[in-house]
Amino acid sequence: MKYLLFSVALIACANQPMSNSETAMALETTNEPIEMKSFYDLRATTIDGADFSFSALKGKRVLIVNLASYCGYTPQYEELQQLHERFGGENFVILGFPANDFGFQEPGNETQIKSFCSKNYGVSFQMMSKVKTNKSRGHEVYQWLCNKVQNGVGDANVSWNFNKFLIDENGRWIAHYESRKDPMSAEITNFAAGKKLI
């Protein structure tokens, strides 16, 4: 009898609607993005505070990289700028997303980051505002990049600063490289030039 009453109580509790706070907590802890979407449906904010629609990237090859000013990989800014100067324009674009996710190595605000990049590396490729790169609770761009259920091709984890993602001219996820991949490597320069990856 006690077992029956306990079972009925459990069923009754299970059928109670969640409160708003419980619902919010459940949404925050979910690891699955809701739906697949096109790369061109994404939006972000530039480092100057302007809205940036990814629909403007149609027909362009894109390199997306998460950046930090005080990281062992920070000198890669120099090669990213070289890559931009050599290949950037109508067919190839670099989008740099500052992030403070790893080692607290990007503590500054957008004005400070922009000044650092300009003064130290002469950066002229497209810089964006600071984001979170977490695959389940980060910026929508990084949720798309890191989850096959959204991008339709592959899963990835941003492991540290200066991870790199390649998106082709049709908005298709092509590759993910970890921090140690040189921006001027054959794989990335071939992609930037419109050649096949090695």
Quick: pLDDT tens for 83-96.
999 999 999 999 99
pLDDT bin (cut points 50, 70, 90) of residue 21 is very low
Mean pLDDT of the chain: 87
Specify the pLDDT at position 36. 78
pLDDT bin (cut points 50, 70, 90) of residue 1 is very low
Rounded Cα distance between 75 and 108, Å, is: 17
Specify the pLDDT at position 26. 37
Specify the pLDDT at position 91. 97
The phi and psi torsions of 124 (rounded to 5 degrees) equal -130, 0
Please state which CATH number belongs to domain 38-192. Answer: 3.40.30.10
Specify the pLDDT at position 88. 97
Neighbours of 5 (CB within 10 A): 9
- Quote the pTM value: 0.82
Quick: pLDDT tens for 33-83.
457 789 999 999 999 999 999 999 999 999 999 999 999 999 999 999 999
Domain ranges of the chain: 38-192
- pLDDT of residue 5 exceeding 90: no
Which listed residue (13, 71, 117, 146) is catalytic?
71
The arithmetic mean of pLDDT across residues 116-129, rounded, is 98
Tokens of 93: 């674009």
Specify the pLDDT at position 196. 79
Specify the pLDDT at position 14. 37
CB–CB of 37/55 below 8 Å? Answer: no
Specify the pLDDT at position 24. 37
Question: Is the alpha carbon torsion for 138, 121, 84, 176 positive or negative?
Answer: negative
* 110-121 and 76-87 helices, crossing angle to 10°: 80
pLDDT bin (cut points 50, 70, 90) of residue 19 is very low
Quick: pLDDT tens for 154-168.
999 999 999 999 999
Task: Indicate the DSSP class of residue 72.
Answer: T
Specify the pLDDT at position 70. 98
What's the full length of the chain, in residues? 198
- pLDDT of residue 15 exceeding 50: no
The arithmetic mean of pLDDT across residues 122-136, rounded, is 97
Strand order in 173-177's β-sheet? 126-127, 92-98, 61-67, 164-167, 173-177
Contacts of 155 (CB under 8 A, 6+ apart): 135, 146, 147, 148
Residue 198 exposed, middle or buried by CB count within 10 Å (0-12, 13-18, 19+):
exposed
Q: Is 13 annotated in the active site?
A: no
> Could you tell me which residue, 19 or 181, shows the higher pLDDT?
181
